[in-house]
Amino acid sequence: MGQAGGNILEQAEEITTTSPPASGGKQGGDSPQQWTIVPEQSSIGFKLEVQGAPFEGRFTQFDGEIFFDPDNPAQSRAEVRVKIASVATGSDERDEYIRAQPWLFAESFPESVFTTTRIEKTGDNQYLAHANLTMRGVSLPVEMPFTLVISRNGAETVADMKASFAINRLDFGIGTGEWSNPETVGISPVIAVSLHVRRENVQSP
């Protein structure tokens, strides 16, 4: 994803969320139907390198609202909220360290929020979400390509969304100072998202 010029922390305050444009997809008609996240079949995690070795973690608590129509992505929107204190890396001691300063600082910033500003279709079952990501009180624009496979399951329709995108942790003030050296901790963690969502089928009159 592209980086804005100048002091990116100062520019973060200027970001505003815009409504999806009216162009593209179907015009008018019903609003996209709401989908429900199934937490036990979904995951949000991250990958980066620590002293040159791969390192992974995940967040066990998250929720959100998703309104999506594959035939009308321009009218679709989503917001996903992650509880920072739910970070899990396989080590309780390490988890406590990540929750504190100078890392995710969960006590002062308990949630990370991903809010779409525009969604576009880029191919078969492929989309691109333009969004604002807020972490540690800093909001910055990100782009998240994702795939979405939809299938009917009895009285419900289910969908599986998979995505990954990189951020610069220093832009969000994560692990600055002595931890800003990329040889110690990688500065571009990859956020990995896998969501299983469902909605009730709309019955024709």
Strands (E), the chain: 34-37, 43-50, 53-59, 62-67, 77-83, 87-88, 111-123, 126-135, 138-153, 156-166, 190-200
- As a whole number of angstroms, the distance between CA 89 and CA 33 comes to 35
- In this prediction the pTM is 0.84
pLDDT, residue 26, reads 44
- Average pLDDT over the chain reads 88
- As a whole number of angstroms, the distance between CA 170 and CA 166 comes to 12
Better-scored residue on pLDDT, 75 or 201? 75
Domains of the chain (ranges; CATH) run 32-200 (2.40.128.110)
Q: Which of 156, 140, 200, 169 is nearest to 12 (CA)?
A: 140
Q: What does 117-147 look like in DSSP terms, one character per residue?
A: EEEEEEETTEEEEEEEEEETTEEEEEEEEEE
CA angle 64, 194, 81 (to 5 degrees): 25
Both tokens assigned to 16:
């505003």
pLDDT, residue 153, reads 84
Q: What does the pLDDT look like over 25-34, one tens digit per residue? A: 444 456 899 9
Residue 63 β-bridge partners: 81
Q: What does the pLDDT look like over 116-172, one tens digit per residue? A: 999 999 999 999 999 999 999 999 999 999 999 999 988 899 999 999 999 999 999
